[in-house]
Amino acid sequence: MPPKFLFPQIPTSQVATSVGDPVDPQALEQAKAIVSSIKDAPNKSSALLEKAKAFGDMQKDEESYVVPNEELKKAYDNLVEEQREALDRIHARVLAFATAQRASITDITIPIPGGSAGHRVTACTTAGCYAPGGRYPLPSSVIMTCVTARAAGCERVVCSSPRPAAITLAAAYVSKCDIFIRVGGAQAIAAMAYGIPSTSTIPSIPRADVIVGPGNKWVTAAKSIVNGFCGIDMLAGPSEVLVICDDTADPKIVAADLIAQAEHDVVARPLLISNSQEMIDKVTEESEKQLEAMPEPNRTTALTAFSTGFKVLCGSMEECVKVSDEIAPEHLEIQTVDAMNVGMSCKSYGGLFIGSDAAEVMGDYGAGPNHTLPTGGTGRYTGGLSVFNFLGIRTWMRIDDRMASQQMVNDTAVMARLEGLEGHARAADARVVEEKK
């Protein structure tokens, strides 16, 4: 007997309680042990190889976790023409968007008393990019992470993914990945965070300055462990989509978009907010109908995910926006009258998809903006992966005219003594220009 379709409707008062901790406590303990076993191992390469095989990242007879560049090229060359051309076009769109992002922030210089100050925008040296490799290969995540790092200006790009399919290797090739390792989970994060020295048969893995990319709960837990030793993009929880719709929406399209998100994982969250109970009922009915026609295992996965999602009836479109901002969803679709204005009134989300034709799945597969987005309410204070995750904005100042800087010298000494830091004050006093008699 098929599982019962469950898509609960909740009042607006319960919405704020729907967000959970992105780091699973049990996964955190397990990740700590895995990360330590590699970080503290006398032979890090052997430890990584052992863990990769133990967790099924590699075949037992494989002796190197590093995939040679020629194997990446071969995977690309062996694609059928339609696949190869689609991969090239997706790469080009993501690259164009990331390149435009990089061009939007530049070095600056402004005058200060007696000199100049400014900032320089520079990329980190090595980027670590993770792409999941579970039930479904995710070459799109390879493109989203590696291409963005390249556009930012990173000198080296390391990509990791367990049990990589040919399309994943091909995506790494078009993304100009320098090193690809067939390792996943917490062990991959540890390898990129701490680096792995070379052996007589396996090249080294350089230590990453920043690690980015989506992953399962062990990946997320491991990223929380290494954060601080290196940078990370975010701690991502279960994937989610929220559709705001009114009575003008097409329930078939809304249902299709909810199902597309639900098939990701049993803990993915399809969310629906509307000012129309009739539309909520139509979408619910259509979702159940479309799920019946889905193949397995996608159908069962999506059915389970719907039980973790919810739908909310609001009294107005303004209340829909307010509730959405409280949730701060990873993906936010607007399917309403005047969708652009409704979308622009929303403040908290990862990625915004305006109008019924702007399908979230097209964002997943390379319309341009990145698909690595904040989940679990973190969209309240951060955005998705971008070139900015790989950039450092480093300030500088210089004084060319000591006399012209004297007021600033005096202000510095005054503030230092107000804080009780006499050494600071005296360092400023050392720059005082004595008046000539």
DSSP 10: -
Using the structure block, give the residue that is written with the tokens 């978009």.
Answer: 257
What is the pLDDT, as a whole number, of residue 20? 67
In angstroms, the Cα distances linking 321 to 48, 232, 275, 318 are: 47, 30, 10, 5
Residues 254, 282: Cα–Cα separation, whole Å: 10
To 10 degrees, the CA torsion angle through 410, 412, 415, 417?
-80
Q: Among this protein's residues, is 331 annotated catalytic?
A: yes
- Helices 25-39 & 44-54 angle (0-180, nearest 10): 140
Neighbours of 81 (CB within 10 A): 7
What is the pLDDT, as a whole number, of residue 21? 78
Class of domain 237-384: alpha beta
In sequence order, what DSSP letters do the residues of 151-199 get, joined into one string? Answer: HHT-SEEEEE-SS--HHHHHHHHHTT-SEEE---HHHHHHHHHH-B---
What is the pLDDT, as a whole number, of residue 280? 98
Residues 150-169 have pLDDT tens digits of: 999 999 999 999 999 999 99
Catalytic residue, from 240, 263, 286, 330: name it. Answer: 330
| Percent of the chain with pLDDT strictly greater than 90 | 89
Residues 98, 95: Cα–Cα separation, whole Å: 5
**pLDDT of 306 strictly over 50:** yes
3-state per-residue secondary structure call for 192-241: HHHCECCCCCCCCECCCCEEECCCCHHHHHHHHHHECCEEECCCCCCCEE
- CATH code, 25-232: 3.40.50.1980
Six-digit token pair at 307?
Answer: 């039980």
Query: Domains of the chain: which residue ranges?
Result: 25-232, 237-384, 401-437
- Helices 44-54 & 185-194 angle (0-180, nearest 10): 160
Fill in the amino acid letter for 157.
V
pLDDT band for position 434 (50/70/90)? Answer: confident
* pTM attached to this predicted model: 0.92
**pLDDT of 294 strictly over 70:** yes
Residues 116-149 have pLDDT tens digits of: 999 999 999 999 999 998 677 889 999 999 999 9
Characterize the bridge pairing of strands 240-245 and 210-212. Answer: unpaired
With a CB cutoff of 8 Å and minimum separation 6, the contacts of 288 are 5
Evaluate whether 306 touches 271 at the Cβ level (below 8 Å).
no
pLDDT band for position 436 (50/70/90)? Answer: low
Six-digit token pair at 287?
Answer: 């979702």
Coil/strand/helix, residue 326: helix
Angle at Cα 172 formed by Cα 168 and Cα 178, nearest 5°?
Answer: 145
Residues 7-66 have pLDDT tens digits of: 999 999 988 755 567 889 999 999 999 999 999 999 999 999 999 999 999 988 889 999
What is the pLDDT, as a whole number, of residue 1? 35
**pLDDT of 186 strictly over 50:** yes
Catalytic residue, from 331, 333, 360, 371: name it. Answer: 331
Neighbours of 221 (CB within 10 A): 27
**pLDDT of 406 strictly over 50:** yes
With a CB cutoff of 8 Å and minimum separation 6, the contacts of 74 are none
Residues 256-268 have pLDDT tens digits of: 999 999 999 899 9
Query: Per this entry, what is the length of the chain?
Result: 437
**pLDDT of 83 strictly over 50:** yes
Characterize the bridge pairing of strands 310-313 and 269-274. Answer: parallel
In sequence order, what DSSP letters do the residues of 370-384 get, joined into one string? Answer: -S----TTGGGT---
Lowest model confidence (mean pLDDT) among 130-139, 186-195, 344-353, 408-417: 130-139
Residues 386, 384: Cα–Cα separation, whole Å: 6
With a CB cutoff of 8 Å and minimum separation 6, the contacts of 77 are none
What is the pLDDT, as a whole number, of residue 437? 53
List of long-range contacts for 281-288, beta carbons under 8 Å, 24+ apart: 282/251, 283/245, 283/249, 283/251, 283/254, 283/255, 283/258, 283/311, 284/7, 284/311, 285/251, 286/251, 286/252, 286/254, 286/255, 287/5, 287/7, 287/255, 287/258, 287/259, 288/5
**What is the arrangement of strands in the sheet containing 179-181, beginning at the earlier edge strand?**
66-67, 179-181, 156-160, 126-130, 210-212, 231-232
Q: Do domains 25-232 and 237-384 have the same CATH topology?
A: yes
Residues 199-252 have pLDDT tens digits of: 999 999 999 999 999 999 999 999 999 999 999 999 988 899 999 999 999 999
Average of per-residue pLDDT across 363-381? 91
